Structure 1
Amino acid sequence: MRAHAAGQTSKAGRPKPPAGPETARTLPARLDRFIGRERELERLRDLFHRHRLITLTGPAGVGKTRLAIEFADRLPAPSPAQAALVELDVLRDEGLVTQSVAAALEIREQSDQPIAETIFKALRGVQRILLLDNCEHLIDASARFVDTALSRCRGLRVIATSREPLGIAGEIVFRVEGLPLPPSGPGTSTTDLARSDAIRLFTARAREHAQDFELTADNAADVAAVCSELDGSPLAIELAARWIPTLPVASIRSRLASRFELLTISGRTGGMRQRSLREAIQWSYELLTPDERVVFRRLSVLLGSFDLETVTAVCQDVDLVPEAILGLVSRLQSTSLLTPVAGARRYRMLESIRLFARQRLNAAGESDAVHERLVSWLSELAEPLIRQPVWFPLQTQSRLESLLDNVLTAMQWAQSTNDDRHGLLTVGVIRCWMQRGHLTEGRKLLRSALERATCPVPIRCLMLAYAGYLAALQGDVQEAFGMLDEASVIAHSLDDPRSLISTLYVIGCLEVAAQRFESAERRFIRCEELANTIDEPAAVAMVIERLAWTVLSQGDVDRANELMNRVLPAFRAPPAIHGLSLAMHTAATIALARDDVEEAERYFCDALRAAPTSSLEVPFTLDGLGLVATRRGRHEHALRLFAMAQGIRGKRLHTEPAWRRQVDAAMAAVHQALDPVVAEQIVRAAEPIGRDNAISYALRQVGPGNQDQADLLDDAERAVALLVAAGHTNRTVAERLGISIRAVAYRLQGIRDKVGLGSRSDITKWARDHLGPG
């Protein structure tokens, strides 16, 4: 009888369940080694003990299935707890989900009841794990089955993988990201790179195809670049590594622009989603509705991260209204085609997904129209840079900086189509680059833009002014005056006081740097007159601040102080303008000249707080705090600040001679007061600290008290240092803090770099001297 398909009966004469707890585990054996994901496995173990349904979500090729199988395979498996894998990717009919579960559990259908009932009876009273793989195309049927199964079978736990959640009660969504990417930046060693899970995977898979492959100093940078450009996607990395017997890594990297042709194999086993990156993404694309496809392909013009306002700007048209776009974006995020940016209401597309979407955009013939919307949107955002070239709101610059990758895209598109807005967008890029310290790159970009004949005259004038300003910042006075002379001619020919103000303002700044103080003063007085005619208090404030600096440079401290007192309220009033940090620096320098050290320190700190993203004002403000520390006799602290400033400034940022003389005199006094060995150690440790750490350190050191090097460390580094000083090994430190041994090593290296220490015993002695018993 089919009701007794198992062919056995119990002593009571009742048929045994068609599948019982003794059924063997049905997870597939893997033929290659699982790499990395230890943190994810640990988190899954914690969740698994507390929840009965975990859904692993993530984009194509991110390794959801492999992670789920590895996790289930590592679970202890006494006979009551066994795992069965249900592979849904080959199904196209929702009605076959239940049958596939039955097949995985080795349950035979019975003639007198639905197969679902047979499954639930078999699972009742036993402990089982069901791994439901690739649910996204059968999401409704999968959700219905899992919801009912969990409510009927108390011993059942489900691990699902899907590009979107099941959306049922009790579900814990576990998002799977790409493998951690290798560190970047100068000084990164091959050993550092080899610790990255992404590089470890590439290396392991490459050796499967070329056993002599090694990560070396010659190829490590290219391997790191390949992994980074593939967003740490395990599938893409494995497909790239397959080319190692045929291509050197550098050639694989150079071919990633055509990655869909490169990242495919002609293997005889496995589904196409595992044999081709294009097919892996195509699988998700085919599940989208027509409107979702429209938004998906239009978003391909955006680079980096972007917000909903930008999404709306490039996607809306007469058929797709803004009210509908929010829901469509939400759907793209839920299907893992759009990735949320942690801690921000922003999104990004993984590069492979974006390139796939771009192909769909081109195929739809929409590329020109969507790029036009992007150019229009960003040109509108950048317009205040033309309308208020010297005194624009800080918010404008911050907004552009958050979209810098897309401003660059729009600028390049406008350039390629001879669009007049190219110059305006170039100015937007320059403003962002200046704050990041990209002065040389900015000068090259401006030279290229100025060669264009289609640039409107007012924008050309502004670009010349910026070109002259950047040249002045790098000490190229001759080129600066050449650019500004041409800008001056244009500005005087225009019936536009704003253009003339911005040009005269920059010329005045250059003349101060060249120590032509009387001429600079005349320029700024003329700027003030013009600014008063346009009823712009912020413009007046910006000009008078530079006038105050000019007269201070001539030794007239009282007049400088009177001028700054006039305009400080305007700088402090909302909205904040981009010159706020510069104004605070000037006010601080005047206070220092008046021997008011306390007020000078307050203003210098205000300057730092007003310029957290600037690479221009920060080093000079650190210099100023160094001058304050020197006045107080805090020589080690002063030298550390001077060294940090120099490390940020580097060789690319010119310093006005008058300011340089003040700093040099203070540094000479500091060096005279310190032991040369101590001074060398301080400089070596402080120069590479970087802008953000330097700001944090400087603001923590306010006041005449704590001079301790311990303030260079963050809380995590302090904790490690204290445990090392107490005699713990890296392993026991890791266990006590709940972190990896690798993280302990990284933090120890951070301590060595920041404080200038060498061996572990040095750290132990230093921690006992500076951190105490903890």
Structure 2
Amino acid sequence: MPPQWKGRLPGSATNFVSRRRELAAARKLLSTSRLITMTGVSGIGKSRLALRLAMDVRPAFPDGVWLVELAGCDNADLLAETVAVDLDVDHRCGSPVVKTLSAFLADKMLLLVLDHCDGLTDACTRLIRALLAAAPRLHVLVTSRNALRLGGERVFPLPPLTVPHLDRLPPATGLNHYGAVRLFAARAAAAHPGFVVDESNWADVAWICRRVDGIPLAIELVAAQLRTMPLRRLVDLLDAHFRERTKAVELAAPHRLRPQPVIDWHFDLCSPAERQVWKRLSVFTGSCDLAAAEAVCGGEDVRADEVAGIVTTLLDKGIVHRRQDGTADEGIRYQLLAPMRQHGLEQRSRSTRRTDPRIRHRDHYLSLVAVAGTDWFSSRQALWAERLRKERDNLRTAIASCLDERGKSPLALRITSTLLHFWLATGELHEGRYWLDRAIAADSSPTVERADALSARAILTTLMGDVAHAGSSLAEADELARRLNDRRSQAYTRLGLSMLTTHRGDLAGAVILAEQAVAGFRDTGDLAGAHAALSQWAIDAALLGDSTAASRAEDGLVLCMTRQASRSMPHALWVAAFAAWRRDELRRATALAQSALRLLRPSNDRLAVALTLKLLAWTAIGQNQHTKAARLLGASASRWLPSELAVVQSQHYAAFDHRCENGSRQSLGDHQFATAYHQGAQLGVDQAIGYGLGMPAADRPPTEWTRQHGARSLTPREQQVAELIAQGMRNKDIAATLLIARRTAETHVESILTKLGFTTRAEITAWIAGTGQS
């Protein structure tokens, strides 16, 4: 069974050509340095080489290799938030995101790849410095045009591909030794099947590679033109273009190396309609789907129904790249590479067109969010969550556009308050608060939009534990909503006040406020708000011991089931399980909590997983399953969950944990309780879910817990070494795979044998096979 790698990388680095020497050198550098910055001009291939390197060294990093693409992130304030989201780090607490990231990474052996740091150099430098200081086994790989100038940084300048000298060309077979020629040949064959470098064309190919300085992007752009013209015609056009611009280009100067002359030439070869679409696509940050491209790029001299065909043409020419981010047509997205986007922006800035595509971009995403808000609480909830996640960079741009344009700040208030339920569902509370803070500061007009934004901010800040700011926001929101007599806005202020009152310990008052919120949401048809308020009502009533808790929880569950709101369903099940547990209906509570856990299995909501494991521990202690309760408590406090999350540390849940721990400890004794708790804490998130579901394999502690002589748990690195031994690797191979010295590998093997009480490598292989880990 092949190993399942942790992390987030694209599926494959396809068509990797002519960088094997650089790849080997970079891999060697990574084995001795914790921070490497790949530098070079635009189009030199930094991102592609970094991705290939990251894929190759995955076995060396037991906690994963994670790519964070920053080409679409132009906001330094949201850099840490972007990294946290892409690393699946739950950061719903009130602490700064950098602090939460540092705590999460503190014990991880992980490779973080930050691609396209150019526009965020200072912010990246500060973040990397903090993370490397907090996490001694963290490695960071950066791509940027320039070095970060951080202590301990090793700079890896990426050179152009090797090119032949035009005054002493080898025969055609000898040209294969040059990286630029190999790349051109590969891309030319893709554009024009059957193309080969031979005696008839080798001089022209060599001339092209030399003329574009061996820059990979430029080579690929030129080769793509073979779809529409013969090689000789291509050479003539390219030569004429360079002759026109000789004074400006100065190709011979190494510091002027760049693909810009070829991009200019490419732009000139495009039809007027293709140029317009190229320029308009440049307003997108990150990628976009076809519907967005049609909405933004259509208009005036390009009809919307023509955009799809033009995008396809630009795709064939290598100007646009296609990304498969999902399944079927839903997952196809289009993106300009950074140099192509920059060229489009420069060309657009010179345009005298009446309609600015930035306005169409803003209006498209305003419309998208409005539809998502109306349709959120439905069977399409999961699809909306995924779609809005993919559009994160474009949503940021749209909100910023509303804030920057005079008279459009009410639109910023509207879009940010509408995104409340999305931010709640994904746990991106810091992102939501950031934009709500800016929108509220930009417009102080006494409007419904401001009241909604104030309530949304209060709800987020309450969950983050910032009670003071939540209280002041709600006071203003409540006064505004009453004055404007807007029933829906009043319902959101009631919901926010209920949550805040719960946090302050007044459960009876919180129940009354939640009931008022439910009535307001039902009157105005806001089902997402109604579900949130029903959940709040049920939880507060259950904490009070109020008999209405079960019926309110059931109402929320029925609402989710009726609307098939899949993202809200685990929470509705948890609330129903909690209400049942408070009524001592332990079997029902366990069944409901396990149903929630099954739905959470494919998600990244680790906070919800932890809360569900806690609830299962509380039900287990009530059924005299003391060892299981201890393990579940340990699992709910695992290292994959930040310890600072305010909601997990609330006084009510902490009291239930304490009661559960005391019951388990009294039954098992201190030593047995500590052992069981530690066993649970060592489970990964998937293992913990399995154990919570009562799966047979998960119900038994791993082999290393029960081996004769009490063998200690292996470290993550030793576990890796054991798995490589099971694959038949010798110490030399293990050292090369994990980027460590051979003696270090030998030490790990000796430690594994000692801890497990084995004497041969064959026993390690059999043990790995027996535990299902390879």
1:212-227, aligned counterparts within 5 Å?
A: none
AA of the residue aligned to 1:336: G
Given candidates 382, 389, 392, the residue that maps to 1:401 is 389
Contact preservation (8 Å) 1:295, 1:315: yes
What is the match of residue 508 of structure 1? 498
What is the match of residue 550 of structure 2? 561
AA of the residue aligned to 2:628: R
Q: CA deviation at 1:644?
A: 2.7
Alignment partners' CA distance in 1, 2:43 and 2:581 = 60
AA of the residue aligned to 2:488: R
Q: CA deviation at 1:551?
A: 1.2
What is the match of residue 316 of structure 1? 298
Q: CA deviation at 1:166?
A: 8.5
SS of aligned partner of 2:252: coil
- The alignment covers a number of residue pairs equal to 555
Q: CA deviation at 1:367?
A: 10
Alignment partners' CA distance in 1, 2:266 and 2:750 = 52
* Cα distance change of structure 1 residues 694 and 145 upon mapping to structure 2, 3 Å threshold: closer
1:624-773, aligned counterparts within 5 Å?
A: 624-628=615-619, 630=621, 632=625, 633-635=627-629, 637-644=631-638, 647-648=641-642, 650-651=644-645, 653=647, 655-669=649-663, 673=668, 679=674, 686=681, 694=685, 697-699=688-690, 701-703=692-694, 705=696, 706-708=698-700, 721-724=722-725, 728-729=729-730, 731-732=732-733, 741-742=737-738, 759-761=751-753, 772=770
What is the match of residue 275 of structure 2? 293
What is the match of residue 205 of structure 1? none
* Cα distance change of structure 1 residues 302 and 454 upon mapping to structure 2, 3 Å threshold: farther
SS of aligned partner of 2:300: coil
Q: CA deviation at 1:460?
A: 0.9
SS of aligned partner of 2:302: coil
Alignment partners' CA distance in 2, 1:567 and 1:65 = 48
What is the match of residue 415 of structure 1? 403
Contact preservation (8 Å) 1:308, 1:326: yes
Alignment partners' CA distance in 1, 2:249 and 2:419 = 41
What is the match of residue 370 of structure 1? 357
AA of the residue aligned to 1:772: G
Alignment partners' CA distance in 2, 1:389 and 1:519 = 29
AA of the residue aligned to 1:457: T
* Cα distance change of structure 1 residues 296 and 608 upon mapping to structure 2, 3 Å threshold: farther
SS of aligned partner of 2:545: coil
Contact preservation (8 Å) 1:730, 1:741: no
Alignment partners' CA distance in 2, 1:496 and 1:518 = 26
Given candidates 252, 257, 260, the residue that maps to 1:268 is 252
Larger radius of gyration: 1
The question of 1:576 aligning with 2:565 is answered: yes
What is the match of residue 611 of structure 2? 620
The question of 1:304 aligning with 2:295 is answered: no
SS of aligned partner of 2:261: helix
Q: CA deviation at 1:414?
A: 1.2
1:150-176 CA-partner distances (Å, limit 9, x unpaired): 9xxxxxxxx9974466899xxxxxxxx
Contact preservation (8 Å) 2:482, 2:490: yes
* Cα distance change of structure 1 residues 525 and 463 upon mapping to structure 2, 3 Å threshold: same
Q: CA deviation at 1:36?
A: 0.7
Contact preservation (8 Å) 1:491, 1:500: yes
Alignment partners' CA distance in 2, 1:595 and 1:64 = 57
SS of aligned partner of 1:304: coil
* Cα distance change of structure 1 residues 144 and 36 upon mapping to structure 2, 3 Å threshold: closer
- Between stretches 638-647 and 398-407, larger displacement belongs to 638-647
AA of the residue aligned to 1:376: D
SS of aligned partner of 1:583: helix
1:162-199 CA-partner distances (Å, limit 9, x unpaired): 4466899xxxxxxxxxxxxxxxxxxxxxxxxxxxxxxx
What is the match of residue 465 of structure 2? 475
1:360-387 CA-partner distances (Å, limit 9, x unpaired): 2222256971111111111112225776
The question of 1:523 aligning with 2:513 is answered: yes
Q: CA deviation at 1:323?
A: 2.5
Contact preservation (8 Å) 2:185, 2:197: no
Q: CA deviation at 1:729?
A: 2.8
1:179-238 CA-partner distances (Å, limit 9, x unpaired): xxxxxxxxxxxxxxxxxxxxxxxxxxxxxxxxxxxxxxxxxxxxxxxxxxxxxxxxxxxx
* Cα distance change of structure 1 residues 336 and 140 upon mapping to structure 2, 3 Å threshold: closer
- Between stretches 571-580 and 668-677, larger displacement belongs to 668-677
Alignment partners' CA distance in 2, 1:480 and 1:457 = 19
Contact preservation (8 Å) 2:320, 2:335: yes
Contact preservation (8 Å) 2:171, 2:199: no
- In structure 1, runs of 5+ residues without a counterpart are 1-29, 41-58, 68-84, 91-99, 108-128, 151-158, 169-263, 735-739
Alignment partners' CA distance in 2, 1:762 and 1:363 = 71
- Aligned CA RMSD, in angstroms, stands at 5.2
* Cα distance change of structure 1 residues 590 and 617 upon mapping to structure 2, 3 Å threshold: same
* Cα distance change of structure 1 residues 648 and 366 upon mapping to structure 2, 3 Å threshold: farther
Alignment partners' CA distance in 2, 1:760 and 1:66 = 35
What is the match of residue 180 of structure 1? none
What is the match of residue 321 of structure 2? 339
Quote the sequence identity (%).
20
Alignment partners' CA distance in 1, 2:642 and 2:164 = 55
Alignment partners' CA distance in 2, 1:572 and 1:380 = 27
- In structure 2, runs of 5+ residues without a counterpart are 1-17, 28-41, 51-160, 201-208, 210-215, 228-247, 327-331, 704-712, 759-763
AA of the residue aligned to 1:607: A
Alignment partners' CA distance in 1, 2:518 and 2:358 = 40
* Cα distance change of structure 1 residues 659 and 606 upon mapping to structure 2, 3 Å threshold: same
What is the match of residue 23 of structure 2? 36
Q: CA deviation at 1:147?
A: 12
1:336-357 CA-partner distances (Å, limit 9, x unpaired): 3333334431233333332232
AA of the residue aligned to 1:570: L
Contact preservation (8 Å) 1:625, 1:641: no
* Cα distance change of structure 1 residues 66 and 549 upon mapping to structure 2, 3 Å threshold: closer
* Cα distance change of structure 1 residues 361 and 674 upon mapping to structure 2, 3 Å threshold: farther
SS of aligned partner of 2:288: strand
Give the number of the structure with larger relative contact order, counting CA–CA contacts within 8 Å between residues 6 or more apart. 2
* Cα distance change of structure 1 residues 708 and 471 upon mapping to structure 2, 3 Å threshold: same
Alignment partners' CA distance in 1, 2:274 and 2:313 = 8
AA of the residue aligned to 2:653: W
